[in-house]
């Protein structure tokens, strides 16, 4: 499988010379097509910062990031927005739904630019709506639905165009366990059957147990990495819990 993400010596600092804070420190990461990778670590470890850099939302202070063979560090804004539109799907904590559009229109948004006929569009939207249990709310507006429904709408929107790279920051945070399981099964299916590459930040060991590999970050650096391999989801879940216990520094807020 080809390499989708290649991050080398990525660094992100905030502040001025006298008061510099390193959020990501010389981070290396290689992710291959079809991998479902979890990112875990204590609050403030740098998980969202790393994800935002890979999502081309944030610029690194140093190092290089190649996505699908192209360095995103040197890309101009025009190229970046085309890149985001064509290759990336986002599921973020604050949903980013447009309040003036219905749930259905929000989901259609990433497809609007694809040359697809109306029937095909309807079919796609219905498929994802069924997958995330939001068929009944398709005609509603974001302010008329619950937090969990917003998150499921955002997830549906993120996967509807079948992007090659899906970036998710706490996608199950606001979901009940049934919706969370549906979303995780959906993501797992995309990686296994559609070769989608998925990077998911999570505090939840249950969510992480759906990944093939989990990267643990502490203080902006790689702490350790777990590979699911042949272990069952339950076994992997326990291995994730073991690492969280050794991570230290506020273990209570990582599970």
Ligand X SMILES: Nc1ncnc2c1ncn2[C@@H]1O[C@H](COP(=O)(O)OP(=O)(O)OP(=O)(O)O)[C@@H](O)[C@H]1O
- Provide the binding-site residues for Mg ion, judged by CB under 5 A: 48
14 binds, among ligand X, Mg ion, none (CB under 5 to 8 A by kind): ligand X
- The structure tokens 């339950």 sit at 234
Q: How far is the CB of 41 from ligand X (least distance, A)?
A: 6
Q: What are phi and psi of 230, to 5 degrees?
A: -90, -5
Decide whether 44 or 189 has the Cβ nearer to ligand X.
44
- Among positions 41-60, residues that touch ligand X (CB under 6 A) are 41, 43-49
Total residues binding ligand X (CB under 6 A): 11
Contacted entry of ligand X, Mg ion, none for residue 70, CB cut-off 5 to 8 Å set by kind: none
Q: How far is the CB of 11 from Mg ion (least distance, A)?
A: 18
Strands 165-169 and 197-201: parallel
**What residues numbered 157-176 form the site for ligand X, per CB under 6 A?**
none
Helix axes 118-131, 147-160, angle to 10 degrees: 130
* Per-residue tokens: 165: 């790279």
Q: Which is nearer to ligand X, 21 or 59 (CB)?
A: 21
User: In degrees rounded to 5, what are phi and psi of residue 13?
Assistant: -120, 150
| Residue 23 in the binding site for ligand X (CB under 6 A) | yes
Q: 153 with 97: CB under 8 angstroms? A: yes
Distance CA 164, CA 24 (A): 25
Binding-site ranges for ligand X (CB under 6 A): 14, 21, 23, 41, 43-49
């Amino acid at each position: 499988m080809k390499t989708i993400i290649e991050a080398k010596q990525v660094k992100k600092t905030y502040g001025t010379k006298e008061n510099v804070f390193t959020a990501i420190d010389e981070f290396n990461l290689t992710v291959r097509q079809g991998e479902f990778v979890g990112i875990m670590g204590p609050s403030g470890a740098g998980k969202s910062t790393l994800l935002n850099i890979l999502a081309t939302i944030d610029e690194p202070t140093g190092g290089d990031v190649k996505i699908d063979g192209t360095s995103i560090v040197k890309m101009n804004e025009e190229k970046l927005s085309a890149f985001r539109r064509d290759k990336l799907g986002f599921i973020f904590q604050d949903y980013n739904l447009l309040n003036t559009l219905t749930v259905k229109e929000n989901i259609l948004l990433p497809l609007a630019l694809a040359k697809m006929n109306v029937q095909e569009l309807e079919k796609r939207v219905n498929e994802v709506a069924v997958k995330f249990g939001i068929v009944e709310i398709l005609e509603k507006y974001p302010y008329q639905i619950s937090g969990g429904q917003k998150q499921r709408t955002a997830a549906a929107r993120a996967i509807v165009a079948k992007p090659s790279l899906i970036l998710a920051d706490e996608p199950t945070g606001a979901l009940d366990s049934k919706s969370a399981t549906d979303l995780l099964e959906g993501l797992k299916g995309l990686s296994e059957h559609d070769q989608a590459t998925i990077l998911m930040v999570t505090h939840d060991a249950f969510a992480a147990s759906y990944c093939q590999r989990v990267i643990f970050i502490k203080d902006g650096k790689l702490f350790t990495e777990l590979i699911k391999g042949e272990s069952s989801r339950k076994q992997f879940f326990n291995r994730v819990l073991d690492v969280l216990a050794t991570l230290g520094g506020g273990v209570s807020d990582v599970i």
